[in-house]
Amino acid sequence: MKRLKSLILIGFSLLGLSSCSDLIYDDLDDCPTGVRVNLVGIPLTLTPTVNGTPYNPKSGYDYANDATFFIYDSNNTLVHMYKQADLLGSNYQVTIPTGAGNYSIYCWTGGSMYDYSGTVAGTSTKSDFVCSYLGDEAVNAADALLPMGYGKVASVTVTDHAITNVDMDLISNKKLITVVCRYAYSNTSVSGTQTSTEANMSNFKFGIVGDNRRFNTENEVLPVGRNFTYQQLTTSFVNIINDVDLNGRSHSYVVNSVSMNTLRLVDGDKTLRLVIRDEEDNYICDLPIVEYLAMFVAAKNPLKNVNMTVQDYLDYTNEYEIILNLVESNTQEAGAKFRIGSIQIADWIKNIQLDGELIDHVNTSKGN
């Protein structure tokens, strides 16, 4: 008798689980239609290391606890805008009700610091969409720029009375760039003295400027024709450290560093620039950051065993460290006491002292 009751209960359970399956029922009118988006973070097809550091497969999750989804039909018309306030609570799965059809889905995260225009359902198309960063210029804190995540599903077919599952790779558009200026005491001094080196470097002012704060549906940057200052040129502080160079030689270095935020880095973009000035407002450098990162990728292929483009590296790397090895300036008319002798990223180094084109970006006089 007990066995019969158990079989009956199991039978009813199976009926319940199968109530929206055409294996048993022909009438599926009460079953929902839609798509379930699974945010999966960094694509697992990429080698899970960068510079020897393992990727967290869910690292994309670190950049979002909210999401806004934009669903377009096969005519590229916006049919639905759906907001999910608590990704963590939903285990990074978001079910979006739709009708049957073919759709493309785009996702943005970042909350109230990002504005979306061109989002009138039934009227707006993909070409109307703009995502804009609303933050103020010249913020001082390195973490003042709120996270911005982006993902898309290029095509998904939804059938009537069924939930279609799709995975969406979520990447971070927020980038953290740490810049380290260092001067080796063992360098030969042009002036014959290295006194007050710490004082000379203590009032460096750093900033990142770029025209990269608006995006279309494909996450392409939409320039506005004016550079945006992500971090005010603020004073940082020096330290004296002992370290070795790439040849294994030990040095005492005077180091001045700062971390700064910016948004998506795009291969070929020369508007995004690292600006460093001394206390008298002379330029130490005005460097096109992406250009040097592209050189690094070409030389070192930091995502090993992957057919990786420069843009892949820029999108799937969220933190960068750039070391600027300074030498004493021998260009007196430039005004600054230092100039950049070389740029170092990981174990790659670029000597720019005699680099004809790039020398124009280094150590120009005040006001130029």
CATH number of the domain where residue 339 is located: 2.60.40.2090
The verdict on residue 368 lying in a domain is no
Domain boundaries, position 242: 175-213+225-361
Examine the domain organization and report whether 53 and 71 are in the same domain: yes
Examine the domain organization and report whether 191 and 116 are in the same domain: no
The verdict on residue 29 lying in a domain is yes
How far apart CA 231 and CA 31 sit, in angstroms, is: 51
Residue 342, token pair as written in the block: 């070389």
The verdict on residue 220 lying in a domain is no
CATH number of the domain where residue 149 is located: 2.60.40.2100
pLDDT level of residue 356 (50, 70, 90 thresholds)? very low
Query: What is residue 330's predicted lDDT score, i.e. its pLDDT?
Result: 62
Rounded to the nearest integer, the mean pLDDT of the chain is 76
Examine the domain organization and report whether 206 and 159 are in the same domain: no
The verdict on residue 9 lying in a domain is no
**Most confident listed range (14-18, 184-188, 267-271):** 267-271
Which of 173 and 111 is assigned the larger pLDDT?
Answer: 173
Query: Which of 255, 133, 139 lies closest to 208, judged by CA?
Result: 139
Examine the domain organization and report whether 204 and 342 are in the same domain: yes
Query: What is residue 171's predicted lDDT score, i.e. its pLDDT?
Result: 84
Examine the domain organization and report whether 315 and 204 are in the same domain: yes
Examine the domain organization and report whether 263 and 122 are in the same domain: no
Contact indicator for 102, 74 with CB cutoff of 8 Å: yes
The verdict on residue 2 lying in a domain is no
Examine the domain organization and report whether 66 and 126 are in the same domain: yes
Query: What is residue 46's predicted lDDT score, i.e. its pLDDT?
Result: 38
For the range 267-271, what are the long-range contacts, defined as Cβ-Cβ under 8 Å and sequence gap of 24 or more? 267/294, 267/309, 267/310, 267/311, 267/314, 268/294, 269/210, 269/212, 269/221, 271/209, 271/210, 271/211, 271/212, 271/223, 271/227
pLDDT higher than 60, residue 92: yes
Examine the domain organization and report whether 301 and 357 are in the same domain: yes
Examine the domain organization and report whether 243 and 134 are in the same domain: no
> Bridge partners of 51?
none
Examine the domain organization and report whether 326 and 250 are in the same domain: yes
Distance of CA 273 to the CA centre of its chain: 16
Neighbouring residues of 144: CB distance < 8 A, sequence distance ≥ 6: 135, 261
> Quick one: CA torsion of 6, 7, 9, 14, rounded to 10 degrees?
140
Which of 1 and 248 is assigned the larger pLDDT?
Answer: 248
Single out the residue in 141, 172, 203 at which a domain terminates. Answer: 172
The verdict on residue 98 lying in a domain is yes
Using alpha carbons, list the distances in angstroms from residue 74 to 103, 156, 220, 264: 6, 10, 21, 28
Model pLDDT for residues 96-110, shown as the tens digit of each residue: 999 999 999 999 987
The verdict on residue 249 lying in a domain is yes
Q: Which residue reads 């996702």 in tokens?
A: 107
Examine the domain organization and report whether 133 and 180 are in the same domain: no
The verdict on residue 334 lying in a domain is yes
Examine the domain organization and report whether 47 and 183 are in the same domain: no
pLDDT higher than 80, residue 69: yes
pLDDT higher than 90, residue 256: no
Q: Which residue reads 């001067």 in tokens?
A: 183
Q: How many domains does the chain have?
A: 2
For range 255-278, the mean pLDDT: 89
**Most confident listed range (24-38, 189-203, 315-329, 344-358):** 315-329
